[in-house]
């Protein structure tokens, strides 16, 4: 199991793996990105940004887990 992160970039929402900034998916809404991640990567932990413009994914205070 790996971690996926949903982050906003230039008005679009990306689903990115923990150790890369190359997105698996880019959508117009956060809900669309969450749905894609839950349908296509159901075993991965999913985290959504609490703050905008994150420079570092490793700070856990900036993320909330989606169950």
pLDDT in tens, the chain (67 residues): 689 999 888 889 999 998 888 999 999 999 999 999 999 999 999 988 766 555 666 666 566 667 6
Q: What is the pTM for the complete model shown?
A: 0.74
pLDDT in tens, 8-26: 888 899 999 988 889 999 9
Kindly list the distances between the CA atom of residue 52 and the CA atoms of 1, 2, 10, 13, 44, in Å, as whole numbers in the listed order.
26, 22, 11, 11, 22
Q: What is the DSSP letter of 42?
A: T
Burial of 45 (0-12, 13-18, 19+ CB in 10 A): middle
Place of tokens 């923990």: 18
Give rounded-to-5 percent helix, strand, coil for the chain.
20, 35, 40
């Amino acid at each position: 199991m790996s971690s996926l992160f949903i982050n906003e970039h230039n008005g679009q929402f990306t689903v990115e793996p923990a150790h890369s900034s190359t997105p698996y998916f880019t959508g117009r809404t956060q809900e669309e990105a969450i749905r894609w991640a839950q349908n296509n990567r159901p075993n991965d932990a999913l985290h959504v940004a609490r703050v905008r413009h994150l420079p570092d994914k490793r700070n856990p205070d900036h993320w909330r887990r989606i169950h």
